[in-house]
């Protein structure tokens, strides 16, 4: 599964737009969709961060999204949209649990807030990305650009 860095190397302009929109609110707020076999998809508010060449999320231990990511792994992520400049960015891929304590500690040291010890760190691998560019609310229709990796 491609890391954020591999996506960024393959589609630098798209990744730059995504990075800008992920960090536009200052704390990586986005919406995460998860699935689990036999159940309907779920939507969750989340904080994500690009640290080094990886896209990460800390997930509360008892959260349904943690169970979904640990058992199925498929996700879709959508950035929040600013009504004044409503560009959008979305990703699809698979998440993997990061169990290396040194990686978890390094990411937690750069995180937006103090991470609880019970939170689990997941890396979000990128298999597809979509950017809809709307520099103003009056700019319609959006100008779309996309990327799909070999695993998508």
In the chain, where are the structural domains located?
4-148
- Secondary structure of residue 27 in the 3-state scheme: coil
Closest C-alpha among 19, 5, 7, 42 to residue 151: 7
| Residue 29 contacts residue 45 (beta carbons within 8 Å) | yes
pLDDT by residue (tens digit) across 64-117?
A: 999 999 999 999 999 988 888 899 999 999 999 999 999 999 999 999 999 999
Average pLDDT over residues 1-5: 94
What is the rounded distance in angstroms from the CA atom of residue 73 to the CA atom of residue 32? 12
Mean pLDDT over residues 53-73, rounded?
93
User: Band of the pLDDT at 150, cuts 50, 70, 90?
Assistant: confident
The percent of residues in the chain predicted with pLDDT above 90, rounded, is 80
pLDDT recorded at residue 152:
64
The per-residue pLDDT for 62 is 87
Q: Is the pLDDT of residue 151 over 80?
A: no
pTM given for the model: 0.93
**Which pLDDT score is estimated for 108?**
96
- For residues 35-43, give the mean pLDDT: 88
Looking at domain 4-148, its CATH class is mainly beta
The pair of three-digit structure tokens given for residue 23, joined into one six-digit string:
């960090």
What is the Cα–Cα distance from 119 to 24, expressed in whole angstroms?
24
Secondary structure class of 66 (helix, strand, coil): helix
């Amino acid at each position: 599964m491609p890391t954020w860095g591999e996506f960024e190397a393959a589609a630098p302009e798209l990744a730059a737009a995504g990075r800008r929109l992920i960090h536009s609110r200052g704390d990586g707020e986005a919406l995460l969709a998860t699935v689990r076999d036999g159940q309907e998809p779920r939507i969750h508010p989340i904080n994500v961060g690009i640290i080094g060449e990886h896209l990460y999320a800390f997930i509360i231990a008892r959260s349904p999204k943690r169970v979904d990511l640990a058992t199925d792994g498929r996700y879709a992520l959508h950035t929040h949209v600013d009504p004044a400049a409503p560009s959008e960015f979305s990703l699809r891929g698979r998440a993997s649990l990061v169990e290396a304590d040194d990686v978890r500690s390094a990411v937690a040291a750069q995180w937006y807030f103090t991470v609880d010890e019970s939170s689990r760190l997941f890396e979000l691998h990128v298999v597809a990305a979509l950017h809809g560019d709307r520099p103003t609310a009056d700019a319609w229709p959006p100008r779309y650009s996309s990327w799909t990796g070999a695993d998508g």
